[in-house]
C-alpha cells in the first residue's frame, strides 16, 4: 500500500498509509462541519496567522538582510499568488 513519507524532528523516518491519511481527513472534515461558522472562521484566522509566522521564520533564516516590511510583502505576494518559492 502506498503511503506518505514522514520525517520527525528526532530523525524517525516512517510512512503514513494512505488509508490513515484518508481517515484523518474524514475525521477532520467532520470536526469542521460540526463547528459553528464563527468557530470555523476563528480557526481559519488562527491557521492563517500560524502559516504567516512560519513563513516569516523561514524568510528570516533564508534572507536575514530583509526588513520586517520586506518579509511581510513577500508573504503577502506568496499568499496572493499561491507561490511557495
- 0.85 surpassed by pTM: no
- Do 71 and 59 contact (CB within 8 A), yes or no? yes
- Mean pLDDT of the residues in the chain: 86
As a whole number of Å, the end-to-end CA separation of the chain is 31
Helix 68-81 × helix 37-62 angle, to 10°: 120
Question: What pLDDT sits at residue 1?
Answer: 46
Three-state DSSP class for residue 64: coil
| Residue, of 60 and 26, whose pLDDT is higher | 60
Question: What pLDDT sits at residue 71?
Answer: 97
pLDDT digits 0-9 by tens, 49-75: 999 999 999 999 999 999 999 999 999
Q: Which residues pair with 16 in a beta bridge?
A: 4
> What band does 82 get if pLDDT is binned at 50, 70 and 90?
confident
CA atoms within 13 A on the CB side of 34: 6
Amino acid at each position: 500500500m502506498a503511503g506518505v513519507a514522514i520525517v520527525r524532528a528526532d530523525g524517525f523516518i516512517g510512512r503514513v498509509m494512505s488509508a490513515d491519511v484518508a481517515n484523518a481527513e474524514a475525521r477532520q472534515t467532520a470536526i469542521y462541519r460540526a463547528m459553528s461558522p464563527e468557530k470555523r472562521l476563528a480557526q481559519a484566522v488562527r491557521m492563517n496567522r500560524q502559516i504567516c509566522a512560519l513563513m516569516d521564520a523561514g524568510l528570516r533564516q533564508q534572507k536575514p538582510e530583509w526588513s520586517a516590511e520586506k518579509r511581510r510583502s513577500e508573504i503577502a505576494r506568496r499568499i496572493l499568488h499561491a507561490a511557495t518559492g
